[in-house]
Amino acid sequence: MQSASKLEMTLLPGAETLLRSHARELPQRDDLCGAFCAALALHAAGIEERRGQAVDQDAVALAAGTIVSALRNVEFLPFDEQGRRDYRVSLPTVEDAAVSGTTAEGLVRALEELSQGRLAAMPYSGPWTGATLGGLFDVACSLTHPVTLLANFATRHLWGARPTISQLLDYLLGGVQDGPDPDWDVGHFACVVGRIRGPSGSLYCVADTYRSLGSDGVHLQPEERLASAIDRRDMPAGGIIVVAAADDAQAVRSGAAEVGLLEGLWDNGTPAAEMLT
């Protein structure tokens, strides 16, 4: 007789609000994945406007110094996505689409500026393993105010975003690592909002930036795959920005240090906007 299997699902504080905003705002505009995710973090904390203006992906991009590609580059998008270039602000451009996007430093600056100091944006550069990722998630879960994990990762290390139920259960219950091939191959930002724990593994819930990824932009990733993707050893560096209430900053910093993470910015390969002038 087979015993019952138990699964435990946890959403981060503020995740429900973030997911509602996520469904409303999809998809990202071209090259604005970091700005899109930072806007969701602000919305999760109840910050949707500043001085009468919307705090959206365009506002974050402007504050963060995001650089957009001069031309549409569909080859850098997930399958069947056509991109979106209806920017409502003027942003600096670059000819090389491979280096367009937003720096981690720019996002940290924009988050704290647009929240008027209500939020602390704390970047963690690693080391990234299943244990440190899980430890940081536990720290975030312990907070009472909304918190968002902005992950900067290499999509080449993820599962494809549409695994079967059998593949998910085989991983959770038996630790089987086989899953669908990655959907695309870029450096990317997305929000980690939840976790499902099983006897043999943990799946993280990722709120992504395109509807074609998973179910309306939400998909599940094995802990080992997500940690490897954030580690980005075979491309410019990645990390996680923890966006938390300023009052919770010390708790985040203490908890992250305890699990062995180093606070600090990383170079994800995108130049700062001022470097283009």
* CATH code of the domain covering residue 55: 3.90.70.10
Q: Domain total for the chain?
A: 1
Quote the tokens at residue 232.
């980005």
For residues 55 and 114, is the Cβ–Cβ distance under 8 A? Answer: yes
Q: What is the structure's pLDDT at 3?
A: 66
For residues 177 and 144, is the Cβ–Cβ distance under 8 A? Answer: no
Q: What is the structure's pLDDT at 276?
A: 62
- Between CA 187 and CA 87 the distance in angstroms is 21
Contacts for 91 with CB less than 8 Å, ≥ 6 apart: 61, 62, 66, 67, 68
Residue 1 belongs to a domain: no
Residue 149 belongs to a domain: yes
Residue 33 belongs to a domain: yes
Q: How distant, in Å, are the alpha carbons of 124, 160, 207, 263 from that of 256?
A: 8, 29, 22, 8
Q: What is the structure's pLDDT at 2?
A: 61
- Between CA 131 and CA 137 the distance in angstroms is 10
CA atoms in the 13 A half-sphere facing the CB of 69: 20
Region for residue 71 given its phi and psi (left: phi exceeds 0; alpha: psi -120 to 50; beta: otherwise): beta
Residue 150 belongs to a domain: yes
- Between CA 148 and CA 257 the distance in angstroms is 18
Residue 191 belongs to a domain: yes
pLDDT, averaged in runs of 10, over the chain (277 residues)? 81 98 97 98 96 93 95 80 90 86 97 97 98 98 97 98 97 96 96 98 98 97 98 95 98 98 96 70
Residue 100 belongs to a domain: yes
Please state the φ and ψ torsions of residue 72, each to the nearest 5 degrees: -65, 135
Q: Which residues pair with 149 in a beta bridge?
A: 192, 242
Residue 276 belongs to a domain: no
Q: What is the structure's pLDDT at 119?
A: 98
Domain membership of residue 98 as a residue range? 9-268
Residue 107 belongs to a domain: yes
Q: What is the structure's pLDDT at 228?
A: 98
